[in-house]
Each structure stands twice: as C-alpha cells, then as structure tokens.
Structure 1
Amino acid sequence: MEKLGSVLAVIPARAGSKGLPGKNIVDFHGCPLIQWSISAALESGCCDTVLVTTDSQEIADIAVAAGAIAPWLRPKHLSDDRASTTAVVLHALEQTPADVVVVLQPTSPLRTAEDISACVSLYCKEGKPVVSVCPAKPWLFCKAVDGTLAPVVEFATQRQEAEYVSPNGAVYVFSAGFLRSGESWWSVGALPYLMPPERSVDIDTPYDLAVARAVFNAPEGSASAKQQRVMNESR
C-alpha cells in the first residue's frame, strides 16, 4: 500500500479556448463551470490543497471565491494551446510541492466527489497512476486520405472479445516522482477507474455544453441530480 503524503489537486484553466470561448467560466446551471470541479475536489475530503493554475486574473478570482487557491498567474510559455498539461502541472508542483497530484479538468462538471476519492483510494492501495475512463465502442478508426477512407487503428469487431474503455479526462492521480520521471501513464500500466457515460462528458464545444446541461437535468436519483444538490448546499 502506497503512503499518500500530501495531496495536491491541480485544476488547469487557461483563458484561451478555440472550441468554446471562455469555456472554463461559462455558466453551467448558475455557477462558473470551473466551480463544479473545485467544489467536487473540496467535497472529496482527500485533497490537502485545491489549486487552480491559470493565466487569467478573472479565473483566479472566481477560483478563490469558490474555495481554491490561485497564488500566481501562469507564465506566458505555459498559457497557449501548445503547452502540455504535464508541463503545466509540473510548474504547479514547483510552486506548491506535494507528494501526490490529482489532476482535474474544469471541463468535467459531472464528475463527483466520490469519483475523486475513489481514484485517490485506488492509488493509495496499488501505488500506480490512476486514470478515469468510460466505456468505449470497439469501432474501426479511419481518416480521410485523398477523398477516401483509410484505417488508422482497427479494433475487434465483436464486443465480447474485449472490454474497451477510453480516458474521459475527469480524474488523473499521479505521484510527484512519476510526473517528474517523464514517463507516460499508458506505458507503466496505469489503473483504470471506470465512470459511466453520464458522468464522463468533457466540455470542449457548444455541443458538449448542451449535452452536459441535458445530462445534468436528468431525473432525480441520477448522478447529475446529486451533483446539483451538493452544489446548492455549498452556495
């Protein structure tokens, strides 16, 4: 069993977005989008610090008001769409050292506090990187080449041959040492944490936002309804 040490939740939220301008603070059922991730991290009870790394003072102010810290603005070389999430998180670690890092995209508002705590518990038990995933269909992936389709990766055609999943971007848990090693989580046997599709919506476009809003309005008793109750209680 891995000894946890200090746990830092890092929420990367730069100002620029091509698919959905201002997406990290777009209104999502009465709150800025990023507030849902901050509230889930705080509610999980397993993060010693919830930190938002951003290049925007507006986002930083919203984050602090929601209960996170945002003690500095991200440098310019880590603020464009070419900067990797790993580089951004490593920069955060330099400013706010910790033993374990929980990376939470602000574009996954339907992820719950229980999802976060379960991922951290799995990491603590096994001592390996943990990545949240959702079920995926084993389709044939193609690209258009000179007006015709060409296969990129061909998966099994029979669903019963294997269980396929896809990272949903909601939760990543790594040790600080692993992040500094430069290794990729898919090369070291990361552990999957399975989430249902209704909690796996990743908002990057207006269409994604419409889908997330529709899921949020699902009938009472669903995960989205529970999220709404938690947020209402935190206001």
Structure 2
Amino acid sequence: MVEPKPHVLALIPARGGSKGVPGKNIRDVAGKPLIAWTIEAAQQAGCIDRVVVSSDDEAILAVARACGAEVPFVRPAELAQDETPGVDVVLHALARLPDVTWVVLLQPTSPLRTAQDIDAAVARCWQAGAPACVSVTEAQTPPWWMFRLSAQGRLQSFLPERQRPQRRQDVPLLYALNGAVYVAQTDWLRQTRSFLTTETVAYAMPAERSIDIDTPLDLEIAACLLRHRAGG
C-alpha cells in the first residue's frame, strides 16, 4: 500500500509587539517587508503545501495577505505576549488547521534562510526517520571561554576552569540553535510540546544565513547581506 503524501504546513509566527525593533516584522529590509523574505522562501520550497502566518496584528496580516500567505485566523492576544512559549503558538495553529501531518516553523526574524534550507531540513528529518529537525550553526564562542562578572567586576568562569582547552584547535565543534527552521511531525509535537528532544536531528547552516534579527544592528547586517545576495 502506498503511503499517503505528508501534508506539510509552513507556519510563520509574527506578533505585533516587538520591543527591541518596533514593528520589525513589516520593516523594510533590502526593499521588502521583513516577513516577505520568509514567506517567499516558504512558497519556493518544494516540500511545503501551505504557507500560513499567525499574528495578532492586522498590519502584519495585511502584509502577509499581500505577499500571498494564508491568514485563516487571528492569533488571540494571550498568545502574543513576550512570555508566550513558541510551541503554544504552533499548537494553536494546528488546532485550527486539520490534516496537517508535518509543521515547519519559520520565524520571520531569519530572512537569510532559503527555500533550499527549508527543503534540506525537512529531507534531513525524513531521511533520518526522526520526528523533528532544527537548524543550527557552528557556535562562534565556546562556552569554556565565557564568563560571568562578580559584583566586584571580576571574571568568573562559566564552566570549570580546569576543563578549558588551552588552544582553539582543541575545542570540540559545537553548534547553537539559529532559529531559522523547526520541523516536526504534528502528533509527536502535540505529545512532547517541544521541538527539542533526544530524538531531534539537526540541519547545519552557515553563519551568513543564520542571522536572527533582535536588534537594529541585526537588521542592518541582514539588509546588507540580502542586497549582496541580490547583486545590489
């Protein structure tokens, strides 16, 4: 018996209450609203069947519609707070969108992620027989070389000093979440309520596509890289 084709939803969460960069999801970045870069990548990905934006903000929803994304519901205000867990936003959407077997969470603050990254992350998940995959990038600063500051301003090693490698060549390769792509089988996600478990596999992305916009400087760097990509 032939297995039914998975129904893959791209879900783009974009609330209106950003404090670090006010209105960032629809700010102009290299000639387009920030969210448009993610909508276009999702639309171009071969594995995606449906592109939906979840937002509490009518201005964001209007831009999403203009970019060709679906906006079948308005996210309730209680799920658009600073402290709202991201998985709650996903589960809210899945409760309103039947027949979705896989969900791909794409944060609009990762505009340099490409359609090829989305397809590769989903393929990595399926080829590994894993219920989830998240994108990562090589960590720039090893945790052994991170410090706290005491009340007196003195350095306190974050990890035990005796474990600190003496040379960069001795540091094991480490990866950090880059926030660009989260893939999960929907029934599994409803049970675990997390994309990150011991069953999750990783898809590695280069640093130049792993910018996660949280500050005005991030916005400027992303715009520069996007213009360079377009040849401008």
Q: 1:24 to 1:190 in 2, by over 3 A?
A: same
Q: What's the counterpart of residue 8 of structure 1?
A: 9
| Correspondence 1:95-106 to 2 at 5 A | 95-97=96-98, 98-106=100-108
Q: What's the counterpart of residue 186 of structure 2?
A: 176
| Match 2:115 to one of 113, 116, 121 | 113
Counterpart CA distance in 2 for 1:153 and 1:190 is 25
- SS for the counterpart of 2:158 is strand
Q: CA RMSD in A?
A: 2.0
Residue 214 in 1 paired to residue 224 in 2? yes
Q: What's the counterpart of residue 142 of structure 1?
A: 147
Paired amino acid for 1:118? A
The answer (yes or no) to whether the contact 1:4–1:124 under 8 Å persists in 2 is no
Q: What's the counterpart of residue 48 of structure 2?
A: 47
- SS for the counterpart of 1:187 is coil
Percent sequence identity over aligned pairs: 44
Q: What's the counterpart of residue 84 of structure 1?
A: 85
- How far residue 160 of structure 1 moved from its aligned partner, in angstroms, is 4.2
Residue 190 in 1 paired to residue 195 in 2? no
Q: TM-score, normalised by structure 1?
A: 0.87
- How far residue 163 of structure 1 moved from its aligned partner, in angstroms, is 1.5
Counterpart CA distance in 2 for 1:85 and 1:4 is 27
Q: 1:195 to 1:208 in 2, by over 3 A?
A: same
- SS for the counterpart of 2:230 is helix
Q: What's the counterpart of residue 221 of structure 1?
A: none
- How far residue 150 of structure 1 moved from its aligned partner, in angstroms, is 2.7
Q: Which runs of 5+ in 1 are unaligned?
A: 219-223, 229-235
- How far residue 48 of structure 1 moved from its aligned partner, in angstroms, is 1.0
Paired amino acid for 2:61? A
Q: Which runs of 5+ in 2 are unaligned?
A: none
Q: What's the counterpart of residue 60 of structure 1?
A: 61
Q: 1:148 to 1:4 in 2, by over 3 A?
A: farther
Counterpart CA distance in 2 for 1:86 and 1:184 is 6
Paired amino acid for 1:165? Y
Counterpart CA distance in 1 for 2:20 and 2:39 is 22
Counterpart CA distance in 2 for 1:162 and 1:51 is 39
Counterpart CA distance in 2 for 1:100 and 1:204 is 28
Give 4+ residue runs of structure 1 displaced > 6 Å after superposition: none
Paired amino acid for 1:71? P
Counterpart CA distance in 1 for 2:148 and 2:179 is 23
Residue 152 in 1 paired to residue 152 in 2? no
Q: 1:153 to 1:8 in 2, by over 3 A?
A: farther
- SS for the counterpart of 1:37 is helix
Q: 1:184 to 1:89 in 2, by over 3 A?
A: closer
Q: What's the counterpart of residue 133 of structure 2?
A: 130
Alignment size in residue pairs: 221
Paired amino acid for 1:63? A
Q: What's the counterpart of residue 94 of structure 2?
A: 93
Q: 1:199 to 1:156 in 2, by over 3 A?
A: farther
Q: 1:10-31 CA distances to partner (integer Å, 9 max, x unpaired)? A: 1000001111000111101111
The answer (yes or no) to whether the contact 1:135–1:197 under 8 Å persists in 2 is yes
